[in-house]
A and B are shown apart, each in its own frame.
Chain A
Amino acid sequence: MYTRRVAYSTITFLAVFIIQESLFTQIRFPWGGFSLLLIFALCWAALSTPEIGAITGFGAGLLLDLAPSSGGPVGQWTLVLILVSFGVAFLRYGDESLRGNPLSVVLIVTVGVIVTLIGYLLLGALLGVELGTTSELLKSILGNGLWTLVVAPFVLPIASRIHRGIFETRESQ
């Protein structure tokens, strides 16, 4: 059962990664665009336990780090996403009123994306990565947040359906 879950989850995330890196990189989105993998990973984490959330963050972060267009050292996305995914899963898991409310998940994911990007920038600054002008960074982060608000409502049902298919035993607990 465990192996099947890991295998299906890995295939799902690899598919999202390939779609992100081959299709979405063809389009020049205004205001910085968005990362499908990041949104999908945080939606996935929001539907999971904190442990699975952390592992999801690790896997998705590693994929983002291995993307050829990634600027920072391998591990930078991984570290930030482990913490944010754990946090998102922890918040969702801890507050019963948030359960079953898609709007709250979308908001948490949006905040999660913004926090991830800020965390990535801060870690990049600590590691000596060139960051660019403050106005451009702010525009990019806010743009990513707005795009996430638009895209997450479409990603969430898909992530939820796949998640339920793989982790259906957890739902029955």
Chain B
Amino acid sequence: MRYGGNNRSRLLLVTLIVTSLFFITLNLRGVQVMTGVRNGTQGILAPFQRAASTAFSPVGNFFADISHLGRTKAQLKSLENQNAILRTQLLNRKNVDSEIKQLKSILNLAGIAGYKIVNAKVISQGSSSGFTQTVTIDIGRNMHLTRDMTVICGQGLVGVVKAVYPTTALVMLASDPAFRIGVRVAGSQEIGILAGQGTDQAVLQLLDSQSSVQSGDVLLALGSQGGKPFVPGVPVGEVTFASDLAGGVSQTAEVKYYSHLNALSVVAVVLQPPASDPRDALIPPKPIPKPIPTVTIFASPPASPTPTPTK
């Protein structure tokens, strides 16, 4: 029999809808109760996330790699030949090595620029149910983190601290559609605004109609007043495609982030900006092309035949 509903169920539905609209209104008006409840939720979830991170870190990207099966087929084939114990040990070792490597590069970057940083481990990759690009890190108010602090990794900018909880913090990644940062082009010093697109590519909009960029130009963070939300000089990305200026008010360009935002494990939060702007000191070095050994073969005439004596 078809359900026809009655006044009681209609009243219930309307009540629930009105309640949710009430929540939305409270939230949009900035009522602190909602923020407090979310903070409480993160406080409850943090121990579970930490435990899960410890257990899952070696295999966290396994499912993502499934989409690249074709490319990694040969690698998978060779891995199948190894026994289970060795494989687990190797995965654990790789994970630790990768973290050490990332830590070294972060310290190198921060050392050159003079940033005062605190390292953090990514304990959650953000919710797949939403459309925001975030990660949760394992430090929060306990390490004196506040909102709007710059987050970096060894390659450059990662994002900005969006919310701080007692022992964790939520980081909005540079790839988030709502992410905006003022950047300058290394060398020419042209300035523009870079906007996240939900992918590892971003869009640069130059502010001056007379200025221009070209493929290969390096973008650095312009920096904010007091170093919040962005400290100056952090490498952001490289221009991969510059649009034609004709027809537009100012030039736009596609930019590829230096940081691999889909595979973050160790990051650093900048607690204090440098005393002076590091300018272009943090530009990543261009890869040096390795010389390809060549072999030159000279064609030489065969040895002249020796005449044989005739009888």
Chain A residues with a Cβ under 8 A of chain B: 18, 20-35, 37-38, 49-51, 54-55, 57-58, 61-62, 64-79, 82-83, 86, 90, 93-96, 120-121, 124, 127, 129-133, 136-137, 140, 144
Q: Are B5 and A31 in contact (CB under 8 A)?
A: no
Binds A, one of B45-53, B151-159, B183-191: B45-53
Interface flags for B176-211 (1: CB within 8 Å of A; 0: not) read: 111000000000000000001111000000000000
Segment 84-139 of B: residues with Cβ below 8 Å from A: 124-132, 134, 136
Range, interface on chain B: 35 or more
| A150 to B68 Cα, complex, angstroms | 19
| A30 to B67 Cα, complex, angstroms | 6
| A27 to B63 Cα, complex, angstroms | 7
| A-side contacts of B38, CB under 8 Å | 66, 68, 70, 74
| B-side contacts of A35, CB under 8 Å | 127-129
Contact A32:B199 (CB < 8 A) given known A74-B23, A86-B13: no
| A79 to B25 Cα, complex, angstroms | 12
Chain B residues with a Cβ under 8 A of chain A: 1-3, 5, 8-9, 12-13, 16-17, 19-28, 34, 37-38, 41-42, 45, 48-49, 51-53, 56-57, 59-64, 66-67, 124-132, 134, 136, 163, 165, 168, 170, 176-178, 196-199, 262-263
| B-side contacts of A132, CB under 8 Å | 131, 177, 196-198
Q: Are A28 and B52 in contact (CB under 8 A)?
A: no
Contact A32:B128 (CB < 8 A) given known A76-B24, A127-B28: yes
Most A CB within 10 A of own CB, among B24, B42, B163: B24
Beyond the given pairs A25-B49, A75-B27, A76-B24, 7 more chain A to chain B contacts, judged by CB atoms under 8 angstroms and listed by A's residue number, are A27-B59, A58-B16, A67-B41, A69-B127, A71-B178, A78-B19, A133-B177
Contact of B124 (CB < 8 Å), options: A21, A30, A127: A21
Give the nearest-CB partner of B24 in chain A. Answer: A75
| B-side contacts of A64, CB under 8 Å | 129
Give the nearest-CB partner of A31 in chain B. Answer: B67
From residue A163, how far is it (CB to closest CB) to chain B in Å?
18
